[in-house]
Amino acid sequence: MSFDKVIMVDWSGGNDRGASPKKDAIWACISSAGTAEEPIYLRNRQLAEAWLIDTLKTLQSAGHRVLVGFDLCFAYPTGFATKLVGSEDTLALWDWFEARVRDDPKSNNRFDLAGEINTLFPGTGPFWFNGLSRDIAHLPRKGLDRTNDHGLSDKRAADKAIPGSFSPWQLAGAGAVGGQVIMGLPVLSRLRKRFGNSLSVWPFQTPDTQIVLAETYFSMLPDLVADDPHPIKDASQVSLYARAFSALAFPDLAKMMDVKATSEGWVLGAEHADILRNALAGPPPLRNDCFAMPQGAHWTPVAEAHQHLRERLTCVVGTEVLPLQEAAGRLLAQNVQAARSHPPAPNAAVDGYGFAGPAAEGISRLKLVEGRSAAGTPYDGIVPSGHAIRILTGANLPKGVDTVVLQEDVGTTNAEVSFHGPLKRGANARNAGEDMQAGQTILQAERKITAADLGMLAAAGVGSVTVHKPLRVGVLSTGDELREPGDAATTGEIYDANRPMLCALLASWGYQVVDLGRAPDDRDTLRGILDSAASQCDAILSSGGASAGDEDHMSALLADTGSSALWRIAMKPGRPLALGLWENTPVFGLPGNPVAAMVCTLIFAAPSLGVMAGGRWQEPTRYHLPAAFTKTKKTGRREYLRARIEEGQVTIFPSEGSGRVSGLSWATGLVELSDPAQKIAPGDLVTYIPFNSF
């Protein structure tokens, strides 16, 4: 049921509004994954209908699933349809209006038609408020002129659930919606006919088609609309709601759509304004195609796989403000400016005597003023020319002082100091702001905060920073053969080596690790584990079952979601990597072999998780060092060898077997051999990547 495109339409019952964008006209906005395009001004209904058909045709042929929301009642209170079409068939009622409404940009028959409908009911009938200057038969001008014996409710159940909503019977007057409903239903009816079985109308039909129409309401988030910079409110509304609906996580939209269908319909989002608000507050979810690698016979080079991920992955975590003491290791969500200059005032760099410089060549004698300037207790007075003052490291320079002579370089009596010049003006003194200026950007967003950063931030007067919330990463091992380390095991069983290794690796990168335990080779059990993991984690690393064999349930399950790809990567160790979204949560289906699981985590998960956590795509630091080994490699794939540095040279683990987990422990990093064939002899420069640079 998830949609990759959302269109929001603000409808209007009035005539053509002219060429330049105006309020109370029709506005529309297209959004995907929480990012909206510019709102579109549609001056009249004819243009709006043509635009909708055109846009939907284009999106449909490009294979998109589109949710179209209209701020327009899709139905009337119970009983109305039966009177007009003989049953409570709302969609038949749309066709009834379609057959009778006359509409052109300058005039339409909505008031006359409402008057005619009124004659079918007792008393004055339900419709009221003639907004025209001419009288209309059977249409009361004001509320007072009408009788209430037509037997219909003033509002639908959905309208009653929304504070401040209007009755569809009121055709004109400030805030009235009745006119635009009569003028909207024929357009909806024609859209249904135009798109046939590809289109359904929620909640009257099951919303499982490529295009789904739904009624919504644009006054659920008034404060956010007011904050939007667009000068025209209707434009702000379509843009905000398009963003919100397209940013909804799949389960949230499913929850909103899960209503009992009656002929009165429902308003999408009614009673769920909080969910829409949350969708706007957090970062947009990942695109459904973020792992959709072009499939085919060829093996994807590592560089190409990297580029694919880099272009599609985005930050998935929200932000919080933390005091400095808690911010180490977090990723900055905003640039940080110095709150004040550092140093805040000119001060002494050494212990000594301050005076007005420079001092000429030869002996200088200066009279000592009484008192001193120390760090934290500056001297308030002025130091007259020809005088000096005792000053300590870090103390502010008093007025009249710009130079300090080192205490070891002077002779002192009670009354004066003497020293050998020359001494430049400003010697041994620090200028205000020479390190950092107030207002200067000192750290950029996306940086991982280091211990040294905390020192700098504190010095610059910054007490708290806006950082990303920690990325929650789940770790799961799969396979019937796995046992918990330390437990008894038969010879057919092996210990789960991947989970403790991957959990510790992720924790060292600053992520919040969620231990998802072990899963058997059973599809239903695995499905249940993924369901609950997706709600607790921002990303999942699973190992085992990622290939295309009988017991490779992880890749099979991910393949069913439609968001996944089995990545055949031209890399050793590695091979099949199953990537997919499980209810919007990315799953990295790693190979089961511990060496391959580790290398795939370092090469693919590390940079991907960094971006999802709010950082940059980060390449590890590569060193070029002489090899202490001989190796011949084939063309067409990248290879990673377990390696360590011995006496400035790169040594490799004697076996390349990817089940040899002891080699991972022996190694301090990896040798990276590029795709072409090559022969490496001792002394050749090779690329070495230390583990701690990932």
Contact positions vs ligand AMP (CB under 6 A): 477, 479, 481-482, 494, 496-499, 543-547, 591-594
Helices (H), 296-409: 302-312
The CA distance from 394 to 210, in Å, is 70
CB of 672 to ligand AMP, least distance (A): 23
Please name the helix (run of DSSP H) or strand (run of DSSP E) that holds residue 279, with its range, or none: helix 273-281
Q: 132: which residues sit within 8 A by CB, 6+ positions away?
A: 111
The CA distance from 363 to 419, in Å, is 6
Q: Which is nearer to Mg ion, 544 or 573 (CB)?
A: 544
Place of tokens 């890749």: 555
CB of 51 to ligand AMP, least distance (A): 51
Q: Using H for helix, E for strand and C for coil, what is the string for 57-99?
A: HHHHHCCCCEEEEECCCCCCCCCHHHHHHCCCCHHHHHHHHHH
Q: Indicate the length of the chain as a whole number.
A: 694
Phi/psi at 601 (5° precision): -65, -45
Strand-pairing partners, residue 436, are 342
CB of 535 to Mg ion, least distance (A): 25
The CA distance from 588 to 600, in Å, is 9
Q: Which residues of 272-298 are buried (b: 16+ CB within 10 A; e: fewer)?
A: bbebbebbbebbbbbbbebbbbeeeee
The CA distance from 63 to 219, in Å, is 31
Q: How far is CA 232 from CA 41, 183, 457, 462, 544, in A?
A: 10, 22, 41, 38, 54
3-state secondary structure of 321: strand
CB of 549 to ligand AMP, least distance (A): 7
The CA distance from 385 to 367, in Å, is 9
CB of 537 to Mg ion, least distance (A): 21
CB of 540 to Mg ion, least distance (A): 16
**Are residues 605 and 627 in contact, defined by beta-carbon separation less than 8 angstroms?**
no
Residue 567 CB: number of other CB atoms within 10 A?
A: 24
- For 160, the token pair is 């009653």
List the single partner that 481 binds among ligand AMP, Mg ion, none, CB under 5 to 8 Å by kind. Answer: ligand AMP
CB of 551 to ligand AMP, least distance (A): 7
Q: Which is nearer to ligand AMP, 476 or 671 (CB)?
A: 476
Q: Which is nearer to ligand AMP, 21 or 592 (CB)?
A: 592
The CA distance from 656 to 599, in Å, is 13
Q: Which is nearer to Mg ion, 479 or 574 (CB)?
A: 479
CB of 600 to ligand AMP, least distance (A): 11
CB closest to Mg ion, residue no? 479
Q: Which is nearer to Mg ion, 284 or 592 (CB)?
A: 592
CB of 575 to Mg ion, least distance (A): 14
Burial class, 624, CB count within 10 angstroms (exposed 0-12 / middle 13-18 / buried 19+): exposed
The CA distance from 592 to 596, in Å, is 7
List the single partner that 477 binds among ligand AMP, Mg ion, none, CB under 5 to 8 Å by kind. Answer: ligand AMP
Residue 132 CB: number of other CB atoms within 10 A?
A: 14
List the single partner that 543 binds among ligand AMP, Mg ion, none, CB under 5 to 8 Å by kind. Answer: ligand AMP
Q: Which is nearer to ligand AMP, 496 or 583 (CB)?
A: 496
Where along the sequence are the contacts to Mg ion (CB under 5 A)? 479, 544-545, 592
Is the peptide bond preceding residue 682 cis, with omega within 30 degrees of 0? no
Q: Which is nearer to ligand AMP, 320 or 481 (CB)?
A: 481
Q: Which is nearer to ligand AMP, 114 or 558 (CB)?
A: 558
Q: Which is nearer to ligand AMP, 179 or 479 (CB)?
A: 479
CB of 598 to ligand AMP, least distance (A): 11
Handedness of CA 170, 171, 173, 175 (dihedral sign): positive
Please name the helix (run of DSSP H) or strand (run of DSSP E) that holds residue 246, with its range, or none: helix 233-247
The CA distance from 518 to 571, in Å, is 27
CB of 508 to ligand AMP, least distance (A): 19
- For 650, the token pair is 């790169």
CB of 575 to ligand AMP, least distance (A): 9
Q: What is the DSSP letter of 325?
A: G
The CA distance from 629 to 619, in Å, is 25
List the single partner that 497 binds among Mg ion, ligand AMP, none, CB under 5 to 8 Å by kind. Answer: ligand AMP
CB of 590 to Mg ion, least distance (A): 11
CB closest to ligand AMP, residue no? 592
